[in-house]
Amino acid sequence: MAREMVAPFHETQAWAEPETERREALMVSGLSKVFGSEQVLDDVSFSIAEGESLVLLGHSGSGKSTTLRLIAGLETPDGGEISLSGRPIENLRARERNVGVIFQNYALFPRMTVAENIGFGLRIRGVRKKKRKEVVDRLLALTGLEDQRDKHPSQISGGQQQRVAIARALAYEPELLLFDESFSALDPQTRVGLRREIRALLRKLKIPALFITHDQEEAMELGDQIAILNRGRLEQVGTPDEVYNNPQTEFVATFLGAANVVEGCWRDGFIALNCEQCLAAPRPSPHQTMEQVKMVFRPEDITLGAPTGLVETPYHLGRGEVVDVSFAGATESLKVKLQPRGYIGKLAPSQCGAAADQPCDLVIKVVRTKWDARRLRLAPGDKVSVGLRSYKILRG
C-alpha cells in the first residue's frame, strides 16, 4: 500500500507563501470553428495570465493553428468569445487587436536590412524616424543583433532571422505574442538554444505568449501551461508537471511521453489485470465492488529487481521476463513480459477475475537510469521482479 507522506516543515500551510492574484491577459471561452462539414474546433476554452506562456500541443489537424488564427484575427470564429486584457476582440480586425504573430517562415522582407525589418511596423503606423530609431536600437540590443543591423535576411542565420521576427513583433508593444511553429525550420541544436533564449526574454519582458507546436519536448520547456488538443477538443490544460504526471485521459497519457496503459477491474480493494497480476489499490466507491478501469504508469515509474525477492516499491506487479534491452546513453529502455500467477494480498488470482490457466501476453515498457542498469545488469531472457512506484486510474 502507498506510504503516507508528511510534508516538510517549510511546506506546511502555516508557513506557505501567500498566493499572488492571477490576472488574465487572454481568455478564450467556448471557441468553435467549422470548415465545410468538418468541426475543426469544438468548445475550446483556456486562459493565459500576464507574463505567462501557454503551449498548444497536438497532432497535425488537431486545431492548433486554427486557434492561433482566430486569436490573431486571421479567421472568424463560429462561436465563442476571445478577450484580451478584459476587452472582447473576436469581432475586431487583426490590426486592431494589438497582437504580435511570429510565423513559421518569419515573413521577413528580403530587400530590407535587419533594422529596417524591425522598424517596418512602426513606419507604416506613422511613428517618427527618431522614435523608430530609439525603439529599433533598444530591440537590437535586447535580442543581441546589434552587429547584424545592416545585413539582409539572407546574410544571417535561421536563429538570427527568428530573433528579427520577434523584435519586429515587439516593436509596437503588443499585449500578446503568438508563435506559429516558429522553431520547426531550425536545426535541432539551434532550436534548443533559441527557445531557451526566447523563454528567458519573455520572462524578462513579462509578455504573455501562446506557442503552437507538435514537439513534446519543446512544449515542456516553453510552457508555464500546456493545453493538449485532440481533433478540435481540449483534452487537458495544466502545468508540464501536471499533464505529464497526472494525465486525465488516455490520449494525454500516451501523447505526452511514453506510457503503459493497462486494462483491468477494481475488485474488493484490488486492481485485477488481464494476466492474473493483482495490484493493491483503494476501492473507487463503497457502493461498487467491481468496475472496469484503465491504469497508466510511466516507464520510469517501474522498478526491476532480482527474481527471487520483492522490489522496494509500494506496488508489486509480480514477476516478468526481459524481452528486449536498448541502451540510450543516459538511460536504458527495456520491454518486460509479465508472468502469470503473481498477486498481492490475500486474494488468489482466480478471485481477481482471471482464469488459473490464462496465459500472460502483457508487455510493459521500462526505463532505467544508467546507474540502475549497472546495479542490476539485464539481458533478454532474464527473469525479474517488477514493482511500481506510482500509477493513475484514467477516467472513462
Residue with cell 500516451: 254
Could you list the beta-strand ranges (E) of 253-314: 260-267, 270-273, 278-280, 290-297, 302-305
For the four alpha carbons of 240, 179, 172 and 71, in that order, the dihedral sign comes to: negative
d(CA 66, CA 332): 39
Q: What burial class does residue 67 get, using C-beta atoms within 10 Å of its C-beta: 0-12 exposed, 13-18 middle, 19+ buried?
A: buried
Q: Strand pairing partners for 367?
A: 333
Whole-prediction pTM value? 0.81
Q: What is the pLDDT of residue 310?
A: 73
Give the three-state DSSP class for 320: strand
Q: What is the pLDDT of residue 147?
A: 92
pLDDT above 90 as % of the chain:
50
All three cell numbers of 200, joined, read 528567458
All three cell numbers of 177, joined, read 505574442
Binned average pLDDT, 10 residues per bin, the chain of 396 residues: 32 43 89 94 95 93 94 94 94 92 84 92 87 91 90 90 89 90 75 83 89 90 94 95 93 91 72 58 52 86 87 82 93 89 39 51 91 94 91 75
For the four alpha carbons of 136, 105, 161 and 166, in that order, the dihedral sign comes to: positive
DSSP string of 206-269, one letter each residue: T--EEEEES-HHHHHHH-SEEEEEETTEEEEEE-HHHHHHS-SSHHHHHHSS--EEEEEEEETT
Cα(first)–Cα(last) distance of the chain, in Å? 24
Q: What is the pLDDT of residue 8?
A: 33
Whether the Cβ atoms of residue 117 and residue 108 lie closer than 8 Å to each other: yes
Q: Residue 324 contacts by C-beta under 8 Å, 6 or more apart in sequence?
A: 334, 335, 380
Q: What is the pLDDT of residue 181?
A: 84
Question: What one-character DSSP code corresponds to residue 292?
Answer: E
pLDDT single digits (tens) 342-353:
433 333 344 445
Q: What is the pLDDT of residue 83?
A: 96
Cα three-residue angle 213-80-203, rounded to 5 degrees: 40
Buried b (16+ CB within 10 A) or exposed e, 322-353: beebeeeeeebbbbbbbbbebbbeebebeebb
pLDDT single digits (tens) 247-278:
999 999 999 889 998 887 766 666 666 554 55
Q: Residue 255 contacts by C-beta under 8 Å, 6 or more apart in sequence?
A: 57, 58, 59, 216, 228, 230
Neighbours of 281 (CB within 10 A): 19
d(CA 180, CA 74): 13
Ordered by where they begin, the domains of the chain are: 24-254 (3.40.50.300), 258-394 (2.40.50.100)
Q: How far is CA 228 from CA 92, 115, 207, in A?
A: 27, 37, 22
Q: Residue 395 contacts by C-beta under 8 Å, 6 or more apart in sequence?
A: 248, 249
